[in-house]
């Protein structure tokens, strides 16, 4: 799977393993975290180690969170 280096988040390919989260490069994930005022959190995909995801813990508190 090719990660999204730039462009709209909604155009990113989706990771089937991680709840269809966007597949991002590490730099793109960091940019989104910074742009969110640190409200988003980034983490590397447990399966595709070159892919990064972001999630919003405050809105997803009912879930267990991202797979470590």
Domain that holds residue 17: 1-68
Q: How many domains does the chain have?
A: 1
* pLDDT value for 66: 59
- 67: confidence class by pLDDT, cuts 50, 70, 90: low
Q: Average model confidence (pLDDT) for the chain? A: 86
Global pTM value: 0.79
For 10-17, which contacts have Cβ atoms below 8 Å and span 24 or more sequence positions? 15/45, 15/47, 15/48, 15/51, 15/53, 17/45, 17/46, 17/47, 17/48, 17/67
* Residue range 10-64, pLDDT digits in tens: 899 999 988 899 999 999 999 999 999 999 999 999 999 899 999 998 887 655 5
* pLDDT value for 6: 77
């Amino acid at each position: 799977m090719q990660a999204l280096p730039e462009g709209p988040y909604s155009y990113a390919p989706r990771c089937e393993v991680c709840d269809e989260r966007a597949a991002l490069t590490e730099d793109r994930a960091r940019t989104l975290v910074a742009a969110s005022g640190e409200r988003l959190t980034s983490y590397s995909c447990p399966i595709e180690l070159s892919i990064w995801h972001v999630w919003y813990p405050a809105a997803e508190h009912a879930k267990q969170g991202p797979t470590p």
